[in-house]
C-alpha cells in the first residue's frame, strides 16, 4: 500500500515538473475561485445559455495562450473538432432532454421519474458517443488505451483508501440541510403509485443509471478531455477540464463545487500519468453512492421518508 500511495504522490510531482507556466496556474486559480465566490458569496448566477460552458473552456485556453504565448493550436482543425465535440456534449446534456423529445415525459404521474432516469442515461450515452466519434475521426479507435479506458499503470488499491478518507467529510456534510436539498437525487413521487410498484424498483433503476452516468463521466472528463487536449496544450489540459468540471457543479452546494476543483485536478493528474481512468471511477462512483446512502439514512433518521 505504501508503494502505491507513493506512486500517486509521484504523479503529482510529475505534474508539477511538467506544469504549464506558474503565472498561468496562479491566474487560472484566481479566476476560478473568483467565479466560485461570485456564485456563492454574492449570489451572482451566471446566465444558463449556450455559452455557459464555452466560457470556462475557451477562457482557460485563452488565458493559457496569453501567458504561455502559445497560439498555434488555435489554427488546428483537430483542435476545433475536439472543442466542438466537447461543447456539444455539455450543451445537449444541459439544454436538451431526449426523454422529452421521444415522449416519455408526457404522462404527469411518471414525468419526474422519466426525466431523472432519462437525464442519467442521456449523459452516459453522450459522454461515450462523442469520444468514440472523435476517436474514429482522429484515427484513435485502435489505440491500446482509448482515452484512459484501460488499467494502464494504475494501482487501484490507493483509490479505495482515498474513498475511505473521504467518509468522515461526507458524514459531516450529510448533516447539513443544504445536503438534503440536493440528495438523494431521486425520491419516490407519483410513478410508484401510478404503476403500482414498489419504490425499490424506481429507486434501484435510478441508482443504476446514476452509476452509469458517473462511469461515463470519468471517461469523458478525466479521459477524453485530458488525453485529447494534451496534444494541443500539454498538461494545461487538466486545468481546462477542471474549469469546465467546476462549472458543472455550480448548481450544487459550495463545498461540493470546491471539492470538484481539488478532486478534478487530482483525478485528472492521476489519469494522465497512470494512463487510466479506472481509479477515478472507483473514487467518483464510491463518493456518489455514499452520498446517496447517507442522504437516505438522514431522511430515515429524521422521519422524512
Confidence band (pLDDT; 50, 70, 90) for 278? very high
Question: Which burial class, exposed, middle or buried, applies to 177 when counting CB atoms under 10 A from its CB (0-12, 13-18, 19+)?
Answer: exposed
Examine the pLDDT at 229 and tell me if it is beyond 70. yes
* pLDDT of 256: 86
Q: Give pLDDT tens digits for 23-36.
A: 999 999 999 999 99
Q: Which residue has the higher pLDDT, 104 or 197?
A: 197
Q: Give pLDDT tens digits for 152-202.
A: 666 788 899 889 999 999 999 899 888 888 899 999 989 999 999 999 999
* pLDDT of 2: 44
Spatial separation of the C-alpha atoms in residues 157 and 210, rounded to whole Å:
23
Confidence band (pLDDT; 50, 70, 90) for 4? low
Spatial separation of the C-alpha atoms in residues 252 and 63, rounded to whole Å:
26
Q: Find the range with the poorest average confidence among 28-37, 109-118, 133-142.
A: 133-142
* pLDDT of 49: 77
What's the number of CA atoms in the CB half-sphere (13 Å) around residue 160? 5
Spatial separation of the C-alpha atoms in residues 57 and 3, rounded to whole Å:
36
Of the candidates 64, 52, 57, which has an alpha carbon nearest to the alpha carbon of residue 24?
64
Percent share of the chain, pLDDT over 90: 77
| Model pTM score | 0.93
Average pLDDT, rounded, for the chain: 92
Of the candidates 22, 16, 110, which has an alpha carbon nearest to the alpha carbon of residue 64?
22
Mean pLDDT, range 8-18, rounded to an integer: 92
Q: Give pLDDT tens digits for 64-100.
A: 999 999 999 999 999 999 999 999 999 999 999 999 9
Of the candidates 232, 259, 197, 297, which has an alpha carbon nearest to the alpha carbon of residue 36?
259
Confidence band (pLDDT; 50, 70, 90) for 142? low
Examine the pLDDT at 110 and tell me if it is beyond 70. yes
Examine the pLDDT at 1 and tell me if it is beyond 60. no
Amino acid at each position: 500500500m505504501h508503494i502505491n500511495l507513493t506512486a500517486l504522490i509521484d504523479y503529482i510531482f510529475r505534474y508539477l515538473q511538467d506544469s504549464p507556466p506558474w503565472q498561468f496556474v496562479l491566474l487560472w486559480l484566481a479566476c476560478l475561485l473568483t467565479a466560485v465566490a461570485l456564485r456563492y458569496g454574492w449570489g451572482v448566477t451566471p446566465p444558463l445559455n449556450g455559452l455557459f460552458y464555452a466560457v470556462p473552456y475557451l477562457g482557460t485556453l485563452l488565458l493559457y495562450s496569453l501567458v504561455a504565448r502559445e497560439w498555434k493550436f488555435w489554427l488546428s482543425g483537430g483542435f476545433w473538432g475536439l472543442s466542438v465535440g466537447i461543447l456539444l456534449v455539455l450543451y445537449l446534456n444541459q439544454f436538451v432532454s431526449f426523454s422529452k423529445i421521444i415522449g416519455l415525459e408526457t404522462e404527469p404521474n411518471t414525468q419526474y421519474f422519466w426525466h431523472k432516469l432519462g437525464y442519467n442515461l442521456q449523459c452516459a450515452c453522450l459522454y461515450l458517443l462523442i469520444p468514440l466519434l472523435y476517436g474514429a475521426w482522429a484515427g484513435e479507435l485502435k489505440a491500446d488505451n482509448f482515452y484512459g479506458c484501460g488499467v494502464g499503470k494504475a494501482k487501484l488499491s490507493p483509490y479505495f483508501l482515498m474513498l475511505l478518507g473521504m467518509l468522515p467529510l461526507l458524514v459531516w456534510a450529510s448533516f447539513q440541510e443544504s445536503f438534503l436539498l440536493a440528495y438523494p437525487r431521486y425520491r419516490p413521487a407519483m410513478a410508484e403509485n401510478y404503476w403500482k410498484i414498489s419504490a425499490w424498483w424506481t429507486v434501484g433503476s435510478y441508482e443504476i443509471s446514476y452509476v452509469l452516468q458517473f462511469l461515463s463521466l470519468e471517461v469523458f472528463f478525466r479521459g477524453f478531455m485530458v488525453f485529447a487536449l494534451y496534444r494541443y496544450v500539454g498538461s494545461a489540459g487538466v486545468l481546462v477540464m477542471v474549469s469546465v468540471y467546476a462549472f458543472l457543479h455550480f448548481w450544487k452546494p459550495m463545498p461540493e463545487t470546491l471539492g470538484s476543483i481539488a478532486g478534478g485536478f487530482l483525478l485528472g493528474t492521476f489519469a494522465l500519468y497512470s494512463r487510466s481512468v479506472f481509479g477515478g471511477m472507483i473514487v467518483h462512483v464510491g463518493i456518489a453512492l455514499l452520498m446517496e446512502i447517507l442522504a437516505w439514512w438522514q431522511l430515515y433518521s429524521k422521519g422524512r421518508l
